[in-house]
């Protein structure tokens, strides 16, 4: 079982979280002309890398906050967790 450190509540079991997918995907900016291709990429296309992956999780059965998790998709090791609005370099 994964143990995820919620930045608000501390270390909790995977059972309390739900998954929200790739956190590096950015929604095209509002009020800007965008091509179908850009919209397509945002909605459907994912890199889904093997190795380090930045992803969204929600602490659904806890504080209900969305968080960002850096996790290895091959070993399931979790390197770091961040608040959703934190910029990660």
Partner 1 sequence: MQKYSIFNLVKNAFSNHENWDLAWKDPTPKEEYDVVIIGGGGHGLATAYYLAKEHNITKVAIIEKGWIGGGNVGRNTTIIRSNYMHDENALFSEFGMDLWRKMSQDLNYNVMFSPRGIINLAHSDAQMNAYARRGNSMRLNGIDAVLLNREQVKEIIPMADFSENVRFPIFGGLMQPSAGTARHDAVAWGYARQADSMGVDIIQNCEVTGFDVTAGKINGIRTSRGNIKTKKVGLCVAGSTNMLAEKLNMTLPIETHLLQACVSEPVKPILDRVVTFGAGHFYISQSDKGEMVMGGDLDGYNSYAQRGNLPTLQHVLTEGIAMMPFLSKLKMLRTWGGIMDMSMDGSPIIDKTHIDGLYLNCGWCYGGFKATPASGWTFAHTIAQDRVHELNAGFSLNRFSTGHLIDEKGLGTKTWIS
**Binding interface with partner 1 (CB under 8 A):** 1-2, 14-15, 18-19, 21-22, 36-37, 40-41, 43-50, 53, 55, 71, 73-76
CB of 37 to partner 1, least distance (A): 7
Contact 17, 33 (CB under 8 A): no
CB of 76 to partner 1, least distance (A): 6
With respect to partner 1, which residue has the nearer C-beta, 8 or 13?
13
CB of 10 to partner 1, least distance (A): 19
Measured CA distances, 28 to 24, 33, 35, 47, 56 (Å)? 12, 9, 10, 17, 18
Euclidean distance between CA atoms 39 and 51, whole angstroms: 26
């Amino acid at each position: 079982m994964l143990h995820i450190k919620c930045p608000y509540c501390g270390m909790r079991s995977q059972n309390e979280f739900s998954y929200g997918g790739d956190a590096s995907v950015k929604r095209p900016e509002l009020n800007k002309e965008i091509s179908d291709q850009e919209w397509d990429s945002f909605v459907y296309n994912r890199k889904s890398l093997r190795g380090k992956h930045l992803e969204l999780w929600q602490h659904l059965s806890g504080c209900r906050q969305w968080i960002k998790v850096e996790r290895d998709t091959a070993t399931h090791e979790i390197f770091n967790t961040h608040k959703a609005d934190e910029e990660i370099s």
